């Protein structure tokens, strides 16, 4: 029952209850930074990390976001054309900063709860894996909402869920 509840919370919080298109909450893929600031009710502000991510997107804006019981920082990634192309929800997980030791249980904490919620929402991961207990990545293609979904946990550091539009075949 708890797993089902967490899945419902994540579905409503992260994907939108009525979302049937490739967007995230109050944003639409392809928005400019100014449009994202306006759509966020002026909550979005300039980000502090100008380095591109693995997809080449730069998180130019950040905003607080509460998804059910999960407190996030939403990071809005923009492509080289300055169009919104990803939203990364970084979980504010107090337990993630605990040192890894013999008494630390990897199956506890908010990152574990978030991972359980994402798994409950999307089912078994369609891709990803674990590397030497340093990190784990799970990926899905959410055909219903037309989004790529990627859950990443960096053990001892934190976790996040990233959303981006599924690109049509042949698109770059």
Give CA–CA dist 98/39, Å, rounded.
36
Model confidence pTM above 0.95: no
How far is 97 from 149, CA to CA, in rounded Å? 24
**Which tens digits make up the pLDDT trace of 33-62?**
999 999 999 999 998 888 888 788 999 999
Q: Which residues of 156-172 are buried (b: 16+ CB within 10 A; e: fewer)?
A: eebbbbbbbbeeeeeee
pLDDT, tens digit (0-9, with 9 covering 90-100), for 94-112: 655 554 443 344 456 889 8
**Overall residue count recorded for the chain in this entry:** 172
Which of the residues in the chain have pLDDT under 50?
1-20, 99-106
Tokens at residue 44, please? 């979005």
Residue 132 falls in which region: left (phi positive, over 0), alpha (psi -120 to 50) or beta: left
């Amino acid at each position: 029952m708890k797993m089902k509840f967490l899945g419902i919370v994540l579905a409503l919080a992260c994907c939108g209850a009525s979302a049937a298109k490739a967007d995230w909450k109050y944003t639409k893929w392809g928005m400019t930074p100014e449009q994202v600031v306006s759509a966020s009710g002026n909550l979005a502000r300039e980000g502090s990390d100008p380095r591109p991510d693995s997809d080449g997107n730069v998180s130019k804006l950040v905003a607080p976001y509460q998804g059910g019981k999960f407190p996030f920082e939403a990071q809005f990634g923009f492509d080289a054309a300055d169009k919104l192309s990803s939203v990364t929800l970084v979980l504010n997980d107090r337990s993630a900063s605990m040192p890894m030791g013999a008494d630390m249980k990897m199956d506890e904490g908010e990152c574990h709860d978030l991972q359980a919620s994402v798994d409950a929402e999307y089912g078994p991961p369609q891709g990803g894996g674990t590397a030497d207990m340093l990190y784990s990545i799970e990926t899905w293609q959410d055909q219903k909402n037309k989004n790529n979904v990627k859950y990443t946990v960096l053990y001892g550091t934190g976790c996040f869920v990233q959303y981006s539009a599924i690109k049509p075949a042949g698109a770059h």
